[in-house]
Every structure is written in structure tokens, then in C-alpha cells.
Structure 1
Amino acid sequence: MPLLDIRNLTIELDTDTGRVAVLEKVSLTMNPGEIHGLVGESGSGRSILAKAILGILGPNWHVIADRMMFDGQNLLELTAKERRCIMGSDISMVFQDPSGSLDPVKTVGSQLIEAITPNKNVPFWRRSKDTYLNAQKWLHKVGIKSPKALMKCFPWELSEGECQKVMIAMAVANHPKLLIADEPTNSMELNTQAQIFRLLSQLNQLQNVSILLVSHELETLVQYCDHLTVLYGGQMMESGLTSELVSSPFHPYTRALLKNLPDYTGKMRHKSNLPTLQGSSPSVQNLPAGCRLGPRCPEAKRQCVKQPNLEQLKDRAFACHFPYKNEQEADDNTFA
């Protein structure tokens, strides 16, 4: 049974110009112990999808879905109290801005202890010390060299990387089944980025934590993720195994993202321009009809003014009227 199963999720926001669908018929499936990458440009709806899974909904949000199941529970039917019981225990999230997510007037240790659920198997007169030692243990596990000293510090005394490690320690201390990491290495130096991604990979392998990794860095997601889902303008473009999606992309947008990766083999001329799609991603107020990639898509035709249905082909899912798989099948028939 999948750990997370979302089918045809649509999220609409009330704006001054009316109700706008920022996510439209997005499907996502995750198995236990899987690292799933969610990739797309800014404004593609990745963070909104992550917040909808966690249950952080705004007052002007309208969530519609055929199915939204987590570990056998229907998230749409849970009350606010039942949803809060899941948040922080079974589902945890690492936000984009770690220093802004921590309270600047409280020490790191007090905030971490507050986030950890006390062990009920420990006598009540020892629970306070046990939770304190548990907080130190998790800070050490996420790569903090002096956890005891750091617990006495305030968030504004720490670097961005240290704040991110504290947030990860808060998120995994209660042994969640699903960890959502939303841009966990945003505005960090390369050494710190690689250290945090290795840390998340170790948590997945040693603690069997399922991770939904949200990022726009396709090159990094290809290295660490088992599955990838590509979003654009609030619509799902393509999803599947990372190896298959990289070797034979069906959707024109996926192919454009892969072509945009830098080539380290030396075949590219020095200071040459990377191939890019013309134009820019649409704003929420001016979303195109049908496939939202249509105005920028090199394969766009008149039929693209209608939204394509999500097609399944073994472990692959894609939404395109003119996928590249048809060309590959034609080539296979030609050489047969």
C-alpha cells in the first residue's frame, strides 16, 4: 500500500480577480522508504502542494481531490484536531527559510525540546532530562559538532546551515513516516548543500524515512531521488522513475529541463548559451487555457488549448497531446 496517494488534487485560491486554480489535477504516489523529487520552476505550485499535504491551508484555499490518502487515512476527512496529531509526528516538514522559522527570542535547545514528544516509557521524573539528552543526540546526528553548546544559543547566533540542521533535527526527532523538505539548501554554499543532501540520504537509508524533496535543482534531484515528478504552472507534466525519466523523457518540458543542465564533458564551447525555452512561466492572474506550457512549448499545436489527460504507461505518467514517445515508437518500427 502506498504511503501517500494523491489523485487529481486541485487547489483554488480566492483572489481579487476571482477564484484561480494554482494546482490543477495533480497526482502523486509515494511508497514507504522512497525519496521522491518534486521539481519545477518558481511558481509551479511545489510549495503549495507540500503545504496541502501537511495541512497548512490558508483561509482562501479550496482543496478538491478524488483521493488524498496518507498511511491508510483520508486526509480530507480528518478534523483539524486529528490533522494536528499527524503534523510533526507522522508528517514533518523542513521549510525554505530555516532562520525565519525559528523563534529568535528562544534558545535553540528550548525550541527543540518543545518539538520532541516525551518518551512515555520513561518515568515522569526523568522525562525532562531524557528529552534534553534526546535533543542533544539528534543535533549530533545531523552533524552539529558541539550540540550542548549550540542548545544554549539563539537562532540569530547561528549560520544558515546550522539553522537548517536544527530544523532537520526537529523534523526527524519524532521518527516521522514522511519528511517534506522544501528547498532545504536554499541560499547555501555548495559544501553545506552537499552535506545536507547526504544527511537526508542517510536518514532515508538508516531510519527508513520517506522523503519528498522539493527543489528546482534537477541535477541534485537526479542524484538522490528514486522517483521524479515535474510540475509547471500548477499542472503535472510528467512523473516516473528517475533513471527512465532522464534517459527517455516523454514531455517537451522535461526534455527542455534536461537539456538545460550544464555539460561537464567538455563538448560545449566556452561561455556558450544553454538551450532554454522562450518566454517565462505564467503568473497566477494570467494562466493560459489548456496546457499551461502551450505558449512556450516547441511542440504546441491547436489541440493544446485543451488540457491533456494524464496518461499511464507502466511506471510512467505524463500529460501531453504530443509526447516524444510516439517518435521513439516510430523509430523502433523503422529499424525493426
Structure 2
Amino acid sequence: MPLLDIRNLTIELDTPHGRVKALERVSLTINPGELHGLVGESGSGRSLLARAILGVPGHNWTITADRMMWDGQNLMEMSTKQRRNLMGSEIAMIFQDPTSSLDPAISVGSQIIEAMPIDKSLPFWKRGKVRKKNAEKWLHKVGIKNTDKVMESYAWELSEGECQKVMIAMAVANQPRLLIADEPTDSMELSTQAQIFRLLSKLNQLQNVSILLISHELETLSGWCDQLTVLYCGQVMESGPTSELIAQPFHPYTKALVENAPDYSGELPHKSMMQTLPGSAPALQHLPIGCRLGPRCPQAQKKCVGQPSLCHKKDRYFACHFPYHNESCNDDTSS
């Protein structure tokens, strides 16, 4: 049974320009112990999807879905209290903006200790000391050397990179069943990024923690993730095993991401132009009908004004009327 199973999730936002579909018929499946990557450029709706899973929607959101299951339980039918009980204990999230996620009036150490589970097998007079040691241990694992100083500091006294490490420590200390990491290494140096990814990989392999890793860098996700989902402008373009998706992409957008990745093997002429997909992602107020990649797609034809169904081919999913390699979903049922 999948740990998380989402089918045709749609998120509509009420804006001054009317109601817009920020996410449209998005499907996502994460199995126990899976490291799943979610790639997409800015504005593709990655963070909205993560917040919908966590159960922290905005005040102007309208969420509908055919199915939104967590370990056999229907998330859409849960009360606010039940969803809150899942947060932190079974589902944890590393937010993209760490500074705004920490309380500026409480020390960092107090916030980490408060977020950690209580070991009721210990006598009550030992619990505080043990939890403090565990908090220092997790801070050290995410790359913080002066743990005593950071524990006593407030969020506004730390750099953005240190706040991000604190958020990661708080999320992984509970050892949740699903960890959603939204750009977890965005403000870190390269050596620390590798350390964080190794930590997440160890959690996945040794503790069987499922991880949804969100990023706009295909190169990063392809090196760490088992499964990959490509999101563009609120629609799923393609999903499947990372190695197969990189080696033989079906969707034009996935193919463009793979082909336009920087090639460091050869020498680039000075000030040479990087290959990119023509055009830019549309604003939410001016979304094209049908496939949202249509105005930029090299394969686009008249049929693309109708939204393609998410087609299933073995363990691959893609949403395109004219995919590469002559793939079609005529012989399979669409999800």
C-alpha cells in the first residue's frame, strides 16, 4: 500500500483577478522508504502541493481531489485536530524560508527540544537532560559545530544558513515517516549541501523514512532520488523512475530540462549563451487553456488546447498528446 496516494488534486486561489487554478489535476504516489524528487521552476506549485499534504492551506485556497490518502486514511475527511497530530510526528516539513518558521522570542534550543518526542520510559528528572543531548546531537549532524552557542541563540541572531540547519534538525529529530524537504540546501555552501543530502539519504536507508525532495535543480535530484515527478505551471508533465526518465524522457518539457542542463565535461566559450526553452512560464492570471506548456512546446499542435490525460505506461506516467518515442496511452487506461 502506498504511504501517500494523491489523485487529481486541484488547488484554486481566490485573487483580485478572480479564481485561478494554481494546481490542476496533480497526482502523486510515494511508497514507504522511497526517496521521491519533485522538480519544477519557480511558480510551478511545488510548495503549494507540499502545504496541501501537510494540511496548512492558505485562507484563500479551495482544495479538491479524487483521492488523498495517507497510509490508508483519507486526509480530506480528517478534522483539523487529526491533521495537526500528523504534523511533526508522522509528516514533517523543512520549509523554504527558515527565518520566518522559527519563533524570534524563544531560543533555538528551546524550540528544538519542544519539537522532539518525549521518551516516557525515562524518569521525568532525566528527560530534560537527555532531550538536550539529543538536540545537540542532531545539530551536530546537520553541520553546526558550536552547538552550545546556537542552542542559546535566537533566530534573529543566526544567519539564514544556520536557521536552515536548525529547521532540518527539528524536522529529522522526530524521525517522521514522511519528510518533505522544500529546497533544504538553498542557502548553504556546497560542502554543507552534500552533508545534508548524505544525512537525508541515511535517514531514508537506515530508518526507512520516505522523503519528498523539492528542488528546481534536476541535476541534484537525479543524483539522490529513486522516483522523479516533473511539475510545470501547476500540472504534472511526467513521472517515473529517475534513471529511466533521464535516459528516455517522453514529455517535451522533461526532454528540454535534460538537454539544457549545463555540460561541464567540455570547454564553454567565454560568455556563451546557455541553452533554454524559448519563452517563460505564464502568470497565474493568464494561464493558457489545455496543456500549459503549449505556447512554449516544440511539439505543440492544435490538439494541445485540450488538457492531456495523465497516461500510464508500466511504471511511467506522462501527460502529453504528442510524446517522444511514439508513446501513447491508447492501450492503457488513463489515471
Normalised by the length of structure 1, the TM-score is 0.93
Contact kept in structure 2, 1:252 and 1:297, CA below 8 Å: yes
Give the corresponding residue for 1:219.
219
Letter in 2 for 1:174: N
What is the Cα deviation at residue 155 of structure 1?
2.1
Contact (CA 8 Å) 2:161, 2:187: kept in 1 or not? no
Of the structure 1 ranges 282-291 and 135-144, higher mean CA displacement relative to structure 2 is found in: 135-144
Q: CA deviation at 1:267?
A: 6.4
The equivalent residue for 1:248 is 248
1:268-283 counterparts in 2 under 5 A? 269-283=269-283
Q: What letter corresponds to residue 279 of structure 1 in structure 2? A: G
Displaced runs of 4 or more, over 4 A: 267-270
For each residue in 1:269-319, what CA deviation from the matched residue of structure 2 results, as whole angstroms up to 9, or x when unmatched? 454322211111011100000000000001100000000011000110000
**Per-residue deviation at 1:146?**
3.2
The residue number in structure 2 matching 1:333 is none
CA 320–86 in structure 1, closer or farther in 2 if over 3 Å, else same: same
What SS does the aligned partner of 1:151 have? Answer: helix
Matched, 1:160 2:150: no
- Counterpart in the other structure of 1:334: none
Per the alignment, residue 61 of structure 1 pairs with 61
Stretch deviating more after TM superposition (110-119 or 222-231): 110-119
In the alignment, the residues of structure 1 paired with residue 201 and residue 12 of structure 2 have an alpha-carbon distance, to the nearest angstrom, of 34
Write the distance in 1 (CA, Å) between the matches of 2:198 and 2:217.
Answer: 15
Determine the structure 1 residue equivalent to 2:318: 318
Matched positions, count: 328
- 1:1-336 matched pairs, under 5 angstroms: 1-266=1-266, 269-326=269-326
Cα distance in 2 for partners of 1:110, 1:9 equals 37
| DSSP-derived class of the 1:144 partner | coil
User: Identity of aligned pairs, percent?
Assistant: 70
Counterpart amino acid of 1:278? P
In the alignment, the residues of structure 2 paired with residue 139 and residue 187 of structure 1 have an alpha-carbon distance, to the nearest angstrom, of: 17
Q: How far apart in 2 are the matches of 1:248 and 1:188?
A: 32
Please list the CA deviations of residues 223-259 of structure 1 after superposition, one character each: whole Å capped at 9, or x if unmatched: 0111110011100000000000000000000011111
Provide the secondary structure at the position in 2 that maps to 1:37. strand
Q: Deviations over 1:68-104 (max 9, x none)?
A: 1111211111000000000011000001122232122
Query: Aligned partners of 1:258, 1:214: CA distance in 2, in Å?
Result: 17
Aligned-residue CA RMSD (Å): 1.6
How far residue 5 of structure 1 moved from its aligned partner, in angstroms, is 0.7
Residues in 2 aligned to 1:312 and 1:269: alpha-carbon distance in whole angstroms: 42
Looking at structure 2, the residues matched to 140 and 266 of structure 1 have their Cα atoms a distance apart, in angstroms, of 38
Counterpart CA distance in 2 for 1:269 and 1:235 is: 36
Q: Which runs of 5+ in 2 are unaligned?
A: 329-335
Do the aligned residues in 1 keep the contact of 2:98 with 2:167 (CA within 8 Å)? yes
Deviation at 1:33, TM superposition (A): 1.1
Q: 1:157 corresponds to which letter in structure 2?
A: E
- AA of the residue aligned to 1:144: I
Q: Which shows bigger deviation, 178-187 or 79-88?
A: 178-187
Please say if residues 161 and 192 of structure 1, whose CA atoms lie closer than 8 Å, have aligned partners that are also in contact. Answer: no
For residues 178-215 of structure 1, what are the alpha-carbon distances to aligned partners after superposition, in whole Å with 9 as ceiling and x for unaligned? 00000112233323322222222222222221110110
Instruction: Give the letter for the 1:66 counterpart.
Output: D
Aligned partners of 1:184, 1:265: CA distance in 2, in Å? Answer: 27
